[in-house]
Structure 1
Amino acid sequence: MKDLSREIWKALESLRGSVTADQAIEVLLYDAALHMGMPESESDRTHREWISLKDADAYAELADSRAALLFASPSERLAAIDDLLSRQARADRGVVWISHLPAKRIAELAGDADKVRCAFDAALHPALLLSQQGKSVRFISADYAASQLAIMISTIIEAQLDVVTANPFSRTDEGQFDAEIIMSPFGLRISSGADIPKSTLSVLGENERSRRLSSDPVAVADGLQSPCPRVVVSVYDAMMFRGVGVEPIAREALVESGRLQAVLSVPSGMVFPHTGIATSLLVLGSEGTGPLNVRFVNLSDDRFAGKTVRGRREVKPASSWLEALHANLSDEQRFAADVPVSAIREKDYTLSLERYLLPPAVIAVEAFLSSRRARHLEDVVELIRPLSMGKEEDGEFMIREAVPGDIGDSDFLEEPKKETLIERAQLRKARNQRLAPGDLLLSVKGTIGSVALVPAEAAVDGESGFWTAGQSFMILRPKKSEISSVALYEYLSSGSVKEALRSLAYGAGIPTISIKDLKEFRIPVPSAEEEDEVVAAFQDRQDRLAEVRTILESIEHARDASWPHRELQRARA
């Protein structure tokens, strides 16, 4: 099949200068579809591009490409078309194309359905694969270019595909189906709900006058309105945990519907290689009494994914996403977890894989805590959330604001390098987040889990020059009756505990730990004997580090006293 693709590409290369690479592919498909009996569409943009080449010398090369494509079998034609379209980033042409293996895995999630509705551009390739299997398939998209592409490819591969150009969310197309695949564009703003059924909007607590909807929660509500016994909905990963707009309402409605059977967590680039967006596939079952458990599947696991030379995870050819929904799980298998609906309720309907499929380090932390007296973090420390200080060019007071880069190799925070001028009106706010010796700084945004102790020499006096913390941190001020600063630092600086903290983070761009999750993070309370042991070990480490620093300083002095450093320093002086 690669030979066929190379032959086609070689012929299309000759069209450069007449049309772009994307246009050349679409003109080829249009020309091939015409030869397979598709009527001409004179109003179509691709028709006009085809006409411009029809009487040109380059058309002979186009004809050679078409002949090579149509000489192959229908399945080989689709494979060659997939290779052509997968090479192009097609966002500028308005069509999203999923390559063969992820499209095949998504199509398989339809199960044994005979009639399938595939909604939105990204569902086109799964729709074509299902139609090749002899299933009755409808492809519906509001995008005219996607509809035309669907007609052209289905004609070329000799597949029966019912193509409808309409907003899939409007549910204006009639028909009964056994399964649906809904793959709406991620994060698309929906300016008005006028063409969305009231029953869909009511799931989200909205009405037809809404102006703040986006495609992902609407896709969830739309899937819940489908009567099909199997519905697959793709959403971007942030939809699984964010508290933005109606997203939490959509998740709660999904869980409480009893229809959610599985959440498949897809690593970034596996389905949509031209973006870095991590996605989730939601699998819904029939209406009525739903399952007591929801299966969470990690498609980043080695049984499903392999790394490419670009570091992106790609689908393993021998894997099966459908089988993962029903596979028996043992204690040793960490690719999936069956989570009770009651546990999802307790986590405020968060559907992030990381909350339920725990990494080994998190399991180790849980085992450590199970045999000890543990308290929530909010019970053992005062949590102080730093606020933005702003910046005044003519401010009369200077503060030093700590950032993650001020956490060095030592256990202590280094003197913050960032100096910020503020006015007296801001001084009270700055004082409220003034760092004191013994405080801990914990990074809860960006580089999650970095932690440092505030040293005894931290500036605390006066109205100027004292240390504060930036908004990437949370200030932890231990309550002395519970745990010492040193013992808390030793626990939080453990690699396993840092990984446990990172498992709580959310955010598609900059990971962040919510204040609620941080407050509920469990901390072991050491006994008096353990406290003494921790403090003694910490002090011994500091003494040894001081000796190492002295040795390193003497080595540096010796270096400066030797040639050529000695002469160069004299010349510079």
Structure 2
Amino acid sequence: MQELSAEIWKALDGLRGALPAPHSIEVLLYDAAHHMGMPEDEANRTHLEWASLKTTDAYATLTDARMRLLSASPSERLHSIDEMLARSARSDHGVVWISQLPARRIAELAGNATRVRCAFDASLHPALLLSMQERFVRFASQDHTTCQLATMVSTIIETRLDVVPANPFSRTDAGEFDAEIIMSPFGLKIPSGTDIPRSTLSILGETERSRRLSSDPVAIADGLQSLSKRIVISVVEGMMFRAVGVEPIAREALVESGRLEAIFSVPGGMVFPHTGVATNLLVLGPNGQTRHGVRFINLSDKRFAGKTVRGRPEARPESSWLDAIDKELASDERFAADVTISDIKAKDYNLSLERYLLPPAVMAVEAFLTERQVRPLEDVVEMIRPLSLGKEDDGEFMIREAVPADIGDDELLTEPKKETLIERAQLRKARNQRLMPGDLLLSIKGTIGAVALVPNDAAVDGDSGFWTAGQSFMVLRPRKGGSSSIALFEYLSNNAVRETLRSLAGGAGIPTVSIKDLRQFRVPVLTPDEEAGIEANFWDRQNQLAQVRARIAEIEKSRKSSWPHDKLHEVGA
């Protein structure tokens, strides 16, 4: 089949100069579909391009490409079309076309359904695959170009596809279906004039369009109001944990419906190859059959994902996403986890995979802590959340604000480079978050897990020049009688502990660890002898690092004194 695609591409080379490459594919499909009986559409752009070619020598080239395509079987035609469209797929809010392997896995999730509704552009390939299995398949999209593509390809592969040019969220296309596949564009803002049924809005707590809506939560609400026995919904990863607009309401409604069977966590590039955005596939069951648990499935696992030469994950041909939903899990399985509804509620309806399918590093930390006495972090430190101090161009006082880039290679905070001028009115607020020697800075936003120890020589005196922390940090100040700051630093700087902290992240766009989760983050209780040994090791390591830096400085000095650096050292300095 790859040979067929190569032959078609070679034939299309003759259209260079007459048409752009993406247009030549559309014209080929139009020509082939017309040859198979599709009526002409004179108002269509592709028709006009096709008609203009008929009076030129280039039409012989187009005819050759069409004959090669139609000489193959319907399944071989679809495979060749897939290879052609995969090269020119659009990637604005998603893609018009997803490639064969993920399309097959998604189509299989429809199970044994005989009537399937596929909504939005990205569901077109699964729709075509299902239609080739002699099922009744409706494809709904408000994009005219995609509807035309659906009609052309279904004609070429000799299958019946019911194409409806309408906004799928409006539910104006009547009919009963056993299964639905909803793959709306990610993060698409829905205009206030869009006709969305009240049954959909009510799930989101909306009786009228009082708030801005985006496609992801509306897709969930749209699926929940459907009576189909199997529903597959594609949403962006952030929809699983963000606290934006109606997204938390949509998640709670999804869990409380009792219909959520499984969540597939899809790595970026596996389904949508033109974007690195991670996504999720939600699988819903029949209405009225309440489930007490949800299966979380990691499609990044090696049994589902391989790597292409470009480094992006690709679905393994031999894997089955459908079987993973009901497969019996062994105690040591790491590709999936069954989570009770009560556990999900306890985590405030967060549906991020990392909250339930623990990475090996997180499991190692859990095992480590079970062998020790532990305390919540809030019991051993005072937490100081830095506030925005504003900025005055002619402020009377200067403060230094630390950011993660100020963490030195010796694990100590260096003098912050960012200088901010403030007025006296802001000075009291700045003093309240002044850094003191022995404080720890823990990044809980963005670069989660970065940690630094404030050194003994940090500037603390006076009303100007002292150090403060940026808003991505939380200042941890050890309580009297609590843990040693160095011992706590050593624990928090461990890579496994950092990954554990990162697994708690949520937020709107930028990952953030909530104050609630940070307060309850468990740390081990150490004996005085253990703390003394940890501190001795820490300072011994600092001394060794100082010696290494001194040696590197000597080497650099020697280099600068040799040719040609001794003659050119000022040039470019």
TM-score range, shorter chain: over 0.9
Structure 2: 5+ residue stretches without partners: none
The Cα shift of 1:450 comes to 1.2
CA gap of 1:507–1:15, structure 2 versus 1, over 3 A, is farther
The Cα shift of 1:439 comes to 0.6
The Cα shift of 1:132 comes to 0.5
CA gap of 1:27–1:568, structure 2 versus 1, over 3 A, is closer
Find the residue that maps to 2:326 and give its secondary structure: coil
User: Deviations along 1:332-391, whole A, 9 cap, x unmatched?
Assistant: 221111111111001000000011010111011111212322222222222222233343
The Cα shift of 1:195 comes to 1.4
The Cα shift of 1:432 comes to 2.2
2:80 match? 80
Greater mean alpha carbon deviation, residues 246-255 or residues 390-399: 390-399
Matched, 1:365 2:369: no
Q: TM-score, normalised by structure 1?
A: 0.95
User: Deviations along 1:181-212, whole A, 9 cap, x unmatched?
Assistant: 01011111112265111111100001233341
Structure 1: 5+ residue stretches without partners: none
2:130 match? 130
Q: Map of 1:375-386 to 2, 5 A cutoff?
A: 375-386=375-386
2:432 match? 432
Instruction: Check conservation: 2:93, 2:185, Cα contact below 8 A.
Output: no
User: Deviations along 1:80-135, whole A, 9 cap, x unmatched?
Assistant: 11011000132479961111001000000011111111111111000000010111
CA gap of 1:63–1:459, structure 2 versus 1, over 3 A, is same
1:305 match? 305
C-alpha distance in 2 between matches for 1:563 and 1:45: 68
C-alpha distance in 2 between matches for 1:159 and 1:224: 30
C-alpha distance in 2 between matches for 1:338 and 1:520: 24
CA gap of 1:51–1:399, structure 2 versus 1, over 3 A, is same
Q: TM-score, normalised by structure 2?
A: 0.95
Find the residue that maps to 2:15 and give its secondary structure: coil
C-alpha distance in 2 between matches for 1:91 and 1:538: 50
Instruction: Check conservation: 1:97, 1:122, Cα contact below 8 A.
Output: yes
Q: Percent identity over the alignment?
A: 70
Greater mean alpha carbon deviation, residues 369-378 or residues 560-569: 560-569
C-alpha distance in 2 between matches for 1:40 and 1:519: 67
Instruction: Check conservation: 1:438, 1:485, Cα contact below 8 A.
Output: yes
2:281 match? 281
C-alpha distance in 2 between matches for 1:153 and 1:138: 14
User: Deviations along 1:194-231, whole A, 9 cap, x unmatched?
Assistant: 51111111000012333411110010011111111111
Matched, 1:106 2:106: yes
The Cα shift of 1:310 comes to 1.7
1:19 match? 19
Partner amino acid, structure 1, of 2:80? A
CA gap of 1:20–1:565, structure 2 versus 1, over 3 A, is closer
Matched, 1:356 2:356: yes
Find the residue that maps to 2:88 and give its secondary structure: coil
The Cα shift of 1:510 comes to 3.9
User: Deviations along 1:316-338, whole A, 9 cap, x unmatched?
Assistant: 11111111111121122211111
The Cα shift of 1:420 comes to 2.3
User: Over the residues paired in the alignment, what is the CA RMSD in angstroms?
Assistant: 2.2
1:47 match? 47
Q: Map of 1:375-414 to 2, 5 A cutoff?
A: 375-414=375-414
User: Deviations along 1:442-495, whole A, 9 cap, x unmatched?
Assistant: 122222211110011000111111111122221111112221211210110111
The Cα shift of 1:49 comes to 1.8
C-alpha distance in 1 between matches for 2:150 and 2:543: 71
The Cα shift of 1:172 comes to 1.6
C-alpha distance in 2 between matches for 1:551 and 1:10: 62
1:516 match? 516
Matched, 1:186 2:186: yes
C-alpha distance in 2 between matches for 1:194 and 1:412: 54
Q: Map of 1:470-485 to 2, 5 A cutoff?
A: 470-485=470-485
1:236 match? 236
1:160 match? 160
Matched, 1:67 2:55: no
Greater mean alpha carbon deviation, residues 389-398 or residues 403-412: 389-398
Find the residue that maps to 2:42 and give its secondary structure: coil
1:226 match? 226
Greater mean alpha carbon deviation, residues 345-354 or residues 88-97: 88-97
Instruction: Check conservation: 1:144, 1:165, Cα contact below 8 A.
Output: yes
CA gap of 1:193–1:298, structure 2 versus 1, over 3 A, is farther
Partner amino acid, structure 2, of 1:121? D
Instruction: Check conservation: 2:93, 2:186, Cα contact below 8 A.
Output: no
User: Deviations along 1:133-155, whole A, 9 cap, x unmatched?
Assistant: 11111111111111111111101
User: Deviations along 1:481-540, whole A, 9 cap, x unmatched?
Assistant: 221211210110111101111212236864332323222211222233322332233233
1:324 match? 324
Greater mean alpha carbon deviation, residues 189-198 or residues 245-254: 189-198
